Chains A and B, each alone.
Chain A
Amino acid sequence: MSGYQEWADNMYGQRDHFLGLAAEYGMGLIGPRIPPLFDAFVCGDPDRVEEMVDHLNAAKYVLNKDLREHLGGAQLDMAGWVGDAAADFLDYLLQLEDAIGLLTECLDALIVILRSHAAVVLAMRQDALNLVDLALQGIEAAGADDWKVALAVVGAVAGVLGTVASLGTATGALVEVVTVMGSAISGSAGVAGAVIDASSELGVLDDMIKAGEGIVAEVREQTSAVDAGLRELARFVSGTKLAEVRPDRPDVITAPSFDPGSFGMTDEAQGRHPRPTDTTDLVPEPKRRPDGPYDRGRGMIDPDRDRYEEQGPA
């Protein structure tokens, strides 16, 4: 069983036990508010985030391997090739190097964003368990004389992104992303003040639900900050910055003055082989993959807008 499934099973189990308790105490308006709370606590899977981070690290490895083995090798192969075409092609290779550097920074930033999301989910789980613990303590104490429960719910989720936002040594895309995420959570109120303060079993359940709804609201604040970070990161690989990660192809290949025949060999070496006469691109523009279900906007205003322009022109 996956870690997520284990968590979900426990949350649904606890939900059912609290529903049972509410039914024993007369349910009232409490019962229907219990399932949405535990449904919210089930959301998020930190283990999947670690899998994604593994994939991103693998992508970084491949990018850097390409940088070392292919781009470096191409520059060596260009030794002795001079002229406008060579300069143009060399410029293209250098832009590709920069693009790989930028993509690596973006991958690092994406890893930080994903780990921030995972930290929010873990903090939410911790808060959820503390809340359940306190509610059970309250109900268990119900047998005592003159009992009254007053237990503070300390919200771990409230400050979880604060640590991310204070990362100081980052550079490039990560700095921008962290700054945006930090501003997004600066107005967050937190749930540290929430308490279970009741003198009846139903009162305990009511306070548990109110405090739980506070935790969920805080999680929404934190995840919206994570979303803001993702949007900021997307800015680095789209729009005007798209050319930085996907440099334009060298002009030499499609220049009007280009003579394919000049790529032939000497007459003697050419022999009876025909000289190249094709005037189309020597290296054709790669075809764009067909759009997936999420490539087109769903809005009424511009339904055909390409949402993922980094795939290149059609």
Chain B
Amino acid sequence: MKVKNSFYIFKKDWQEIYKNKEILLPIIILPILFSIIFPILLIGSALLIPPEEYNNGEGLADLIPFFQGQENEVLKIIIYYNINFLMKPLFLFTPMILTMVIASDSFAGEKERKTIESLLILPITDKELILGKVLTAFIPAIIATWAAFGAFQALIFFMTYDIFGFNLIGLDWYLLLFLFTPLLSFFSVILMIINSSRAKDAKSAQNVAVIIILPVISLFFLQMANIFVLDVINILILSGFLGLLDLLMIYLGGKQLNRDRLISRIR
């Protein structure tokens, strides 16, 4: 297998994406939204609430007992809750949406723009071709997410260190970003590429997005209600489960993605 062939496809796809606003805009906007806008809104709103109105935050004390009795107890609980309960699952939307937008265009976009045959005629193996398409969606989604996380981490540190005296971003965040997120992105990429290979155009290829989005939305509400928390143990368990799903996707991808199937669907 010549990996350089996959990189040629990756490079070409990115030259194309650079000119495609429908794909480029979410890649730029989403990380900014999740790394800067949301944290500022969540922390800023907590800071703007006058202390005398904190009474309503009492219910949260049971949720995060760690801060009980401390100075600025309710403020700390609200900020901690917003960052570690609300933001954590929200952060998963960035790689997921980006992989969906990019990967749904992978083969369906080539069909839509009638370039699929000239791509498939190249003297490369099916594996090199598919790896190229996986890289096109996976690498930028991960880089954008990690870059957003870097900005998010710096912003949180800058806005909350004086209040807490320690970094709010702990091991759970690192596991979520550097273990769980790549596994989730990979699953999302392969699923979207398989669907893209069957769909007529990129928009109809996005119809399976619900398979990935629904569990993440559920995760968001479960975490909000403190029913299932994304702590170190749970992230490791979920990562193990996703790892197995990824292996299944590699198997399914190997069966589903080949020239014969791709070309048979072109009329």
Q: Does chain A bind chain B?
A: no
